Amino acid sequence: MIEVKNIKKSFQGREVLKGIDATFMPGQTNLIIGQSGSGKTVMLKSIVGIHEVDNGSILFDGKEVATMKFKERQKLRQEIGMVFQAGALFDSMTVADNIRFPIDMFTNMTKKEKDMRVDHCIDMVELENAHHLFPSEISGGMQKRVAIARAISLEPKYLFCDEPNSGLDPVTSIVIDKLIQRITRDLKITTVINTHDMNSVMEIGEKILFLYQGEKGWEGSSSQILHVDNEDLNRFIFASNILKKVRAIETK
Amino acid sequence: MKIFESIGDYCILMAKVFKKPQKMSVFWEHLLKEIDKLGVGSMRIVMIISIFMGGILTLQVSYNLTNPFMPKYLIGLGNRDTLILEFSSTILALILAGKVGSNIATEIGSMRVSEQIDSLDIMGVNSASYLILPKIIACILFNPVLYILSVATGIIGGAIVGPVTGVVSMGDYVEGLVHTFNPFYVTFSFIKSLVFGFIIASVPAYYGYNVRGGALEVGKASTDSVVLSSIFILCADLIITQLFFK
Residue contacts between A and B (CB atoms, under 8 Å): 50
Give the pLDDT confidence score for residue A58 in this predicted structure. Answer: 92
- Output the CA angle A42-B6-B144, nearest 5 degrees: 115
Give the pLDDT confidence score for residue A117 in this predicted structure. Answer: 92
Question: Which pLDDT band, with edges at 50, 70 and 90, does A126 fall under?
Answer: confident
Residue of B nearest to A101 (CA): B26
- Tell me the fold of A2-251: Rossmann fold (3.40.50)
* Chain A interface, best mutation among B33, B113, B119, by max A CB count within 10 A: B119
Q: Strands A190-195 and A158-162: what pairing?
A: parallel
Q: From CA A211, how far away is CA A98, in angstroms rounded?
A: 33
pLDDT tens, position by position, B80-119: 999 999 999 999 999 999 999 999 999 999 999 999 999 9
Chain B residues whose beta carbon lies within 8 Å of the beta carbon of residue A74? 124
Write a three-state SS string for A216-251.
EEEEECHHHHCCCCCHHHHHHHCCCHHHHHHHHHHH
Question: Which pLDDT band, with edges at 50, 70 and 90, does A182 fall under?
Answer: confident
Q: What is the DSSP letter of B39?
A: I
Chain A residues whose beta carbon lies within 8 Å of the beta carbon of residue B111? 90
Going across the sheet that includes A2-11, the strands are A14-24, A2-11, A55-60, A63-64
Q: Is the pLDDT of residue A177 over 90?
A: no
Cβ partners under 8 Å of residue B28, min gap 6 = none
Give the pLDDT confidence score for residue A70 in this predicted structure. Answer: 84
Give the pLDDT confidence score for residue A248 in this predicted structure. Answer: 73
Chain mean pLDDT for chain A: 87
Give the pLDDT confidence score for residue B104 in this predicted structure. Answer: 96
Question: Which pLDDT band, with edges at 50, 70 and 90, does B33 fall under?
Answer: very high
pTM of the complete model: 0.86
Most confident of the following: A18-32, A160-174, B97-111:
B97-111
Most confident of the following: A9-13, A48-52, B198-202:
B198-202
Cβ partners under 8 Å of residue A138, min gap 6 = A95, A130, A146
Distance from the Cα of B217 to chain A's closest Cα (Å) equals 18
Asked if A85 is an interface residue toward chain B (Cβ–Cβ < 8 A), one would say yes
> Per-residue pLDDT averaged across A240-251, rounded?
72
Residue B195 CA: distances (Å) to CA of B137, B190, B240: 11, 9, 9
Q: Is the pLDDT of residue B230 over 90?
A: yes
Most confident of the following: A109-118, A170-179, A220-229:
A109-118
Question: Which pLDDT band, with edges at 50, 70 and 90, does B236 fall under?
Answer: very high
Distance from the Cα of A206 to chain B's closest Cα (Å) equals 25
Going from N- to C-terminal start, the domains of chain A cover 2-251
Residue B110 CA: distances (Å) to CA of A52, A219, B114, B207, B208: 23, 37, 6, 11, 8
Interface of A with B in 149-178 (CB under 8 A): none
Question: Which pLDDT band, with edges at 50, 70 and 90, does B204 fall under?
Answer: very high
Cβ contact A88–B26 (<8 Å): no
